[in-house]
């Protein structure tokens, strides 16, 4: 794959942030990355940092992704963001999330998709799938019942950083 004259190490069609389901497979043969992902770990599920590696909060994540040259990417760009569902409990919280979304697109962001489920619920769903058959999650460009996903993918979704506004 070539982006702006640079050939990537993986000779596959696709691009960062495309939601390619083979990211676990490719991660096994890919060295460490600047975001702190270790060699052999699953690649990021979207344009954001590898799971659990974004340390500057949701605003930092969205600002960084908005700066990317999206027009140079050969495919759609996916950005998965896991937010604490408590953010939508109040009118002020809803307003803050709406402002965050507006700012992302005003700065050049192209796409956002949210998971609004907390870590405790995901862990319980993994242990007791029969109690959570209707729990839907954003995976990477698509949504699926959490309990239908294989263990590695469930673990990856659990590992995504859960953001609170103001952090």
User: Is residue 8's pLDDT more than 70?
Assistant: no
Residue span of the structural domain in which 115 resides: 2-163
More confident residue, 61 or 48: 61
SS (H, E, C) 97-151: HHHHHHHHHHCCCCCCEEECCCHHHHHHHHHCHHHCCCCEEECCCCEEEHHHCCH
Report which of 67, 66, 19, 65 is spatially closest to residue 42, judged by C-alpha positions: 19
| pLDDT tens per residue, range 94-112 | 999 999 999 999 999 988 8
128: which 2 tokens? Answer: 């007791």
Beta-strand (E) ranges in 2-135? 2-3, 6-7, 80-83, 113-115
- Give the chain's mean pLDDT: 81
User: Is residue 51's pLDDT more than 80?
Assistant: no
Q: How confident is the model at residue 140 (pLDDT cuts 50, 70, 90)?
A: confident
23: which 2 tokens? Answer: 């990211």
Q: How confident is the model at residue 81 (pLDDT cuts 50, 70, 90)?
A: confident
Beta strands at 143-145 and 136-138: parallel, antiparallel or unpaired: antiparallel
Q: How confident is the model at residue 31 (pLDDT cuts 50, 70, 90)?
A: very high
Report which of 7, 105, 102 is spatially closest to residue 65, judged by C-alpha positions: 105
As a whole number of Å, the CA-based R_g of the chain is 16
pLDDT at 11: 41
pLDDT at 1: 41
User: Is residue 45's pLDDT more than 70?
Assistant: yes
For residue 82, which phi and psi values (nearest 5 degrees)?
-100, 115
pLDDT at 97: 94
User: Is residue 10's pLDDT more than 50?
Assistant: no
* Model confidence, pTM: 0.69
Which residues pair with residue 80 across a beta bridge? 113
For the chain, the domain total comes to: 1
User: What is the signed CA dihedral for 58, 59, 65, 67, rounded to 10 degrees?
Assistant: -170
């Amino acid at each position: 794959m070539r982006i702006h004259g640079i050939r990537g190490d993986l000779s596959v069609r696709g691009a960062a942030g495309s939601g390619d389901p083979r990211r676990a497979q490719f991660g096994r043969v890919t060295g460490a990355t600047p975001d702190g992902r270790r060699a052999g770990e699953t690649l990021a599920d979207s344009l954001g940092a590898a799971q659990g590696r974004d340390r500057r909060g949701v605003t930092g994540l969205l600002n960084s992704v908005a700066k990317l040259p999206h027009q140079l990417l050969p495919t759609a760009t996916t950005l998965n963001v896991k937010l604490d569902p408590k953010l939508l409990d109040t009118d002020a919280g809803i307003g803050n999330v709406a402002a965050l979304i507006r700012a992302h697109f005003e700065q050049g962001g192209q796409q956002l998709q949210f998971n609004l489920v907390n870590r405790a619920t995901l862990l319980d769903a993994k242990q007791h799938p029969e109690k959570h058959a209707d729990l839907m999650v954003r995976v990477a460009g698509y949504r699926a019942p959490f309990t239908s996903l294989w263990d590695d993918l469930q673990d990856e979704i659990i590992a995504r950083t859960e953001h609170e506004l103001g952090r």
